[in-house]
Structure 1
């Protein structure tokens, strides 16, 4: 559903498919909270969603922290490349919500572990970008345009639900009318 959402062009359709896909992933994690594959799938899917519209970065943090803890307890649960990507993305998630100290810890940890020169360069650049920033930044202030987009999405969702209810009412009325006509013909 999330892949379908990615390819939709209409924002409300994108949102509808995304929310349905997220519900399924959340149910899968609730049913099997210790399953690292499900956590990895949900974490990767949610990581790509914009925080300002979905507010799911905390989910990424929970899933990736679980995966890293599991790898530390039982080495080999993740391939080295996937593990590095999870640690890097966890740092990005922390940075996204203004938890600079936590992002720095992730990236420094990875910088000490990786031998990949491209990754080391990227980490060095990211760490430099954090210099002089507070440990925690308040990223909760939204621009007027992002608030308007959020309001438009909420209104669009409410309107879509209303339209669906009206369609169901019309269908039910049409079925009743057909049944009534059948009875009157007998």
Structure 2
């Protein structure tokens, strides 16, 4: 059963509990047509459990970029908190959903304020019940999703993931094997964000041994293979500029997949190529994208903003010079898609570029399109477009894209 189906099932349970409560309150003699009325305390406990189950499922959906789920999670958390004002779990769910709604705020200051308020609410809840595994899960995921450059919560996420992993190893029934694998992946990812490569490798070695074919193991394996030695931070001496450009683009793509070292190396190389070919729009676009990418990995928020703004300006300049380039459109689309919406308001621009490239791909010969996008990369584009639609609350467009994605997946490989 999928997460959305599970959420609907719990919604039905909540509705039944609400009808039961109304019916019970209307019986003066404590009886109903089928026998004794339910115990009020048991009914409240059941309602609390159902609310929390639904809240957790909606929150998990919301963290994937589902705006409708985020709105439902926030509304449910508000009601849960009003019904159980002294419950730490109710407070933590409210804090996390309140913070998540900041993602869709029209002002950057609102996004920051909601995140900080969420941190304070969740910290207060954990202080009241520090051994509660569900509370630690909520705080771990909340800390994990916040950008480290602004909120510095990666260390807190590490602490919670370590605690949860220890509880699983101790035999806790509140964490299943699949969830443990996700915890190991996210713990290793947190280590990498803080430059603790040896710790990340140790944790991911355990993940790979546990289930080498899981999606989390595959994601960890890719990141492990992307580690670059320090000498790659300086470009090699090359006579052929095209060779340097190809090498720089390969580094840039590794940087997109999570390697700060590759991103830094790509920026150095592309800057050199741009100096040698200042009139080449494609080179300018790649250099701008690489500049913005290095900002993403910066621990300094000023550098992050400055690099993003300068990089986007370069890509926009390149696109003005070559407006029908699918490669430059793709670069700008992914750059806009990667920037926080409340601060930059560029998701609609990403949608515009993704839709343009999608139309170009579907109406272009196989020979031409394969020079820009492989079939797997086109699928990634469709998934990104779907996520962008949901980020903007355009759920009907996102749902309509599902059929196209499934059709593309099922299409036989071209020979």
Query: TM-score, normalised to structure 2's length?
Result: 0.33
Q: Distance in 1 between matches of 2:159 and 2:129?
A: 14
CA offsets 1:102-150 (integer angstroms, 9 cap, x no match) = 11111111000015354333222122223647xxx9x8863753487xx
Aligned residues between the structures: 145
Q: Post-superposition shift, 1:90?
A: 0.5
User: Does 1:142 find its partner at 2:300?
Assistant: yes
User: Of the two structures, which has the highest relative contact order with CA contacts closer than 8 Å and spacing of 6 or more?
Assistant: 1
Q: Is there any run of 5+ residues in structure 2 with no aligned partner, and where?
A: 1-97, 231-260, 262-296, 307-415
Aligned partner of 1:164 in structure 2 is none
Partner of 1:130: helix, strand, or coil? coil
Q: Post-superposition shift, 1:5?
A: 1.2
CA RMSD of aligned residues (A): 2.5
Q: Post-superposition shift, 1:34?
A: 0.4
Aligned partner of 2:119 in structure 1 is 22
After superposition, residues 21-60 of structure 1 pair within 5 angstroms as 21-60=118-157
Partner of 1:76: helix, strand, or coil? coil
Distance 1:91 1:10, change over 3 A: same
Q: Distance in 1 between matches of 2:163 and 2:211?
A: 20
Q: Post-superposition shift, 1:82?
A: 1.2
Aligned partner of 1:96 in structure 2 is 193
Q: Post-superposition shift, 1:83?
A: 1.1
CA offsets 1:58-115 (integer angstroms, 9 cap, x no match) = 0000011000011111243302221111110000001011111111111111000015
Q: Distance in 2 between matches of 1:122 and 1:141?
A: 23
Q: Is there any run of 5+ residues in structure 1 with no aligned partner, and where?
A: 149-186
The answer to whether the Cα contact below 8 Å between 1:68 and 1:87 also exists between their aligned partners in 2 is yes
CA offsets 1:139-164 (integer angstroms, 9 cap, x no match) = 8863753487xxxxxxxxxxxxxxxx
Aligned partner of 1:70 in structure 2 is 167
Aligned partner of 1:172 in structure 2 is none
Q: Distance in 1 between matches of 2:214 and 2:169?
A: 24
Partner of 2:130: helix, strand, or coil? coil
User: Does 1:6 find its partner at 2:164?
Assistant: no
Distance 1:129 1:29, change over 3 A: same
Q: Distance in 2 between matches of 1:24 and 1:45?
A: 11
The answer to whether the Cα contact below 8 Å between 1:104 and 1:130 also exists between their aligned partners in 2 is no
Query: TM-score, normalised to structure 1's length?
Result: 0.70
Partner of 2:226: helix, strand, or coil? helix
